[in-house]
Amino acid sequence: MKQLRVVVSGSAGRMGQALVRLIDVADDLVLHAAFDVGGDPAAAAAGADVIVDFSSPSGAVAAANAASAGGTALVVGTTGLGPGEKAAIEEAARRVAVVLAPNMSVGAVTMYRLAAEAARLLGPGFRPAIFEAHHRHKKDAPSGTALRLAEVLSVPRGEVQAVRGGDVVGDHTVLLLGDGERIEIVHRATSRDAFAMGALRAARWVAGRPAGLYDMASVLGLG
């Protein structure tokens, strides 16, 4: 069986460490290279099938440039991207296949679909609200996942409630508030392995795909 050669960008971080650990025990994956701040993305990407990036906004741009130059597929799970960083990743997607998602867990992606369908079925009489909590070290707030939910439910960014504290891996709650009743949709991540496993699922899917910008819905076959 041919093994997929994976590069991990952001290998010193919590997610990077989880990725390296899971790649090491996967029969169909091999760690081609791993790098962090100060590393050489182009050298790491040489001969690889896919780069998986969980670094920083600037690190994601460096990984995108290396992927584009080397013809390597790319998975970006880094959050807190600004318009310039997103534009750089979109430019890379003109040359290589890129999966860009604020949350790589399959449960969170499913939550997007459930929330959208519930809002459609309930109609305008139910007001949506979004709450999220993460560990105290997470820099961006609201989270990328919460912002995606806000986009799906047409909730203004300023109305998303975000809490930072403790060691919470990631909790997201959607409320659909009606008169006399409410719907709650909750996703709780209890381990970073959920995100890492989703990212590696995306890596397996995107390698060899035509150039373009994809998301986790594409990976899961949700359109």
State phi, psi for 171 to the nearest 5 degrees: -120, 135
Measured CA to CA, the distance from residue 176 to residue 174 in angstroms comes to 7
Instruction: Pick the catalytic residue from 32, 134, 172, 187.
Output: 134
Alpha carbon distances (Å) from 81 to 13, 78, 100, 128, 202: 17, 7, 11, 25, 19
Measured CA to CA, the distance from residue 85 to residue 71 in angstroms comes to 19
Would you tell me the crossing angle of helices 57-70 and 83-92 to the nearest 10 degrees?
Answer: 20
Question: Is 2 among the catalytic positions?
Answer: no
Q: Is the Cβ–Cβ distance between 148 and 110 less than 8 Å? A: no
Would you tell me the crossing angle of helices 106-122 and 144-153 to the nearest 10 degrees?
Answer: 20
Question: Is 139 among the catalytic positions?
Answer: no
Instruction: Pick the catalytic residue from 32, 86, 135, 138.
Output: 138
What residues act catalytically?
134, 138
